[in-house]
Amino acid sequence: MSRFLLITADNAFEQKVRLATAAGLPGEVLAVKPALLPQPGDLLDLLSVQQPEVLILGPGMVVDGALRLATIVDVRFPNLSMVLVAPEDSGVALAAMRAGVRDVVDPTADIPSVRLLLERACQAFASRHRAEFVQSVAPAKQEHGLVIGVFSPKGGVGKTTIASNIAVGLGKVAPMGVVLVDLDLQFGDVASNLYLNPEYSVRDAVSSSASSDTMVLKAFLTPHPSGIYALCAPSNPADADSISAEQLGALIKQLSAEFPYVVLDTGPGLTEHSLAALEQSTDAVWVTGMDVPSVRGLRSGLDILNKLNLIPETRHVVLNFADSKTGLSVQDIEATLGAPVDVSIPRSRALSLATNRGVPLLQEEVRDPATKNLHGLVQRFTPEWRQGNQRKAHRRVVIR
């Protein structure tokens, strides 16, 4: 059995792959000339015997033929990660994604780039196996997934940090079944918080091609090492003006039909984009800091939304940067909001460090009081919590 199966007639590229895997990727590379696999059935038989994690369709194969072969392989071996080697200017990326190819790499790519791509392909393979196991022991999938919107009328209260940790935490419950969407379309920080450099953004995801073809939409998602997907904000703030609330509503519906969990990180204020997210949310996470302006801002926002009848039935109030020395108590905050505080996230040096590093706290499971409380927040979206009596119970949080 070989971890990597490479089909190529290019000896130089074969050597590049071997050097890339030798630099920290365990597992053997089996290289086969295309001429030795004249029929698709020959490759399928080889895959059945070798059971690789990654299939590399390398130089020496006709691109159209490689894509037809990839389509067949994707049906027979859906967990297999496939990589197509083709020039960047060939324009085959979209067709490749539709054929089930996970990544396209230029034949001139350097060894570190090839290694990184193969590492991601192996991670995707492992994640799909974990997801398959979870699905085999889990109840039947609901028609639409949960849509968890993270909101606050005031900026600077840590919405993106909360949303990122919710998504990463849920990624351990449903590997590759979570997508985090950055709806702060002008100045979103999801890419920074997850240390990602996405090729595509929300603007691509609301295009006509993506809205009419789920496979195209999935090609615009960026995989993250924690086992989730991210859909980041446009890099150009001006692009936000070209995305309508109606497009966002349709996008959220499309994603919730494909993923068990959709986490929405919204921008500050009650913009048309935030309201569109709120309309589609099954759960609203309301975040406030432990200061008078953010508490009053949230109260005003909730009053407006109550009048508009836009607040989802299931709500979770999160007190971020909780600190007993601020002069406010939990009772003060609950009295102002007219709602109980469900979860408090203590002010934490570890949490700040994790945010600055672009590695969410729940990704590395750092021992810290904030980690425990974030786990408590994530637990509120699991089937066990939602089916039990605890969803209706409220215990007053304690701040130390």
Given pLDDT bands bounded at 50, 70 and 90, which one contains residue 143? low
Q: Are residues 338 and 235 in the same domain?
A: yes
Looking at the predicted structure, is the pLDDT value of residue 286 above 70? yes
Q: pLDDT value at position 131? A: 54
Q: Are residues 210 and 286 in the same domain?
A: yes
Q: Which of 58, 93, 114 is the last residue of a domain?
A: 114
Domain span at residue 223 reads 146-392
Q: pLDDT value at position 139? A: 44
- What is the number of structural domains in the chain? 2
Q: Are residues 153 and 273 in the same domain?
A: yes
Q: How far apart are CA 357 and CA 366, in angstroms?
A: 13
Mean pLDDT estimate for the chain: 86
Q: pLDDT value at position 57? A: 94
Q: How far apart are the first and last CA of the chain?
A: 55
Q: Are residues 219 and 352 in the same domain?
A: yes
Give the CATH number for residue 45.
Answer: 3.40.50.2300
pLDDT single digits (tens) 120-136: 888 878 766 555 544 54
pLDDT single digits (tens) 209-225: 888 888 888 888 998 88
Q: Are residues 301 and 212 in the same domain?
A: yes
Q: pLDDT value at position 140? A: 43
pLDDT single digits (tens) 54-86: 999 999 898 889 999 998 998 888 889 999 999
Tell me the pairing of strands 283-288 and 314-322: parallel
Give the CATH number for residue 253.
Answer: 3.40.50.300
Q: Are residues 96 and 167 in the same domain?
A: no
Q: Are residues 187 and 251 in the same domain?
A: yes
Nearest to 209 by CA among 99, 98, 72: 98
Residue 325 lies in a domain: yes
Nearest to 203 by CA among 163, 228, 238, 229: 238
Q: How far apart are CA 121 and CA 103, in angstroms?
A: 8
Q: How far apart are CA 1 and CA 66, in angstroms?
A: 23
Average pLDDT on 87-102 reads 84
Residue with tokens 């083709």: 86
Q: How far apart are CA 251 and CA 306, in angstroms?
A: 25
Q: Are residues 90 and 195 in the same domain?
A: no
Given pLDDT bands bounded at 50, 70 and 90, which one contains residue 400? very low
pLDDT single digits (tens) 348-358: 888 889 888 89
Q: Are residues 158 and 104 in the same domain?
A: no
